A = this chain, B = another copy of it.
């Protein structure tokens, strides 16, 4: 079962993950990652913009690659866009497979690509206004592991 979505409104990960797990009977392992807006450093809000003609097709292509590379039974990949408040989920990736290695590696792979190879731009609001977030060197290093 495959479920790739962009969401403009807040979501509750459990409401997606429960049905996703049930939709993959016979799975051996399911790994899930949820990223949330951290409120540290005086961050008041986060805004995610994207480029619609590329974003969802890019996520579908990423899903194709992950499903084939890790032999997945199912993949859920949901990303928020728009304004988010602290504590809100930004991203949720869940992978179902026969064995744990495929499920865990697929989540790791998809997250690295969503972080620094998908068409999103993130800025955060602090007391002195909005600041764009540049990808960290660590993110590029993480992505390079899969080449």
Contacts and interface: CB of A to CB of B under 8 A. Distances in A.
Interface of A: 13-14, 17-18, 21, 25-36, 38-40, 87, 98, 100-101, 103-104, 107-108, 111, 115, 138, 142
Shortest Cβ-Cβ A-B pairs, 4 listed:
A28-B38, A32-B32, A31-B33, A29-B35
Nearest to A111: B100
Contacts of A104: 33, 104, 107-108, 111
Nearest to A28: B38
Contact of A14 (B18, B35, B39, B107): B18
Nearest to A18: B14
A100 B138 contact: no
Given A14-B17, A87-B25, A31 B30 contact: no
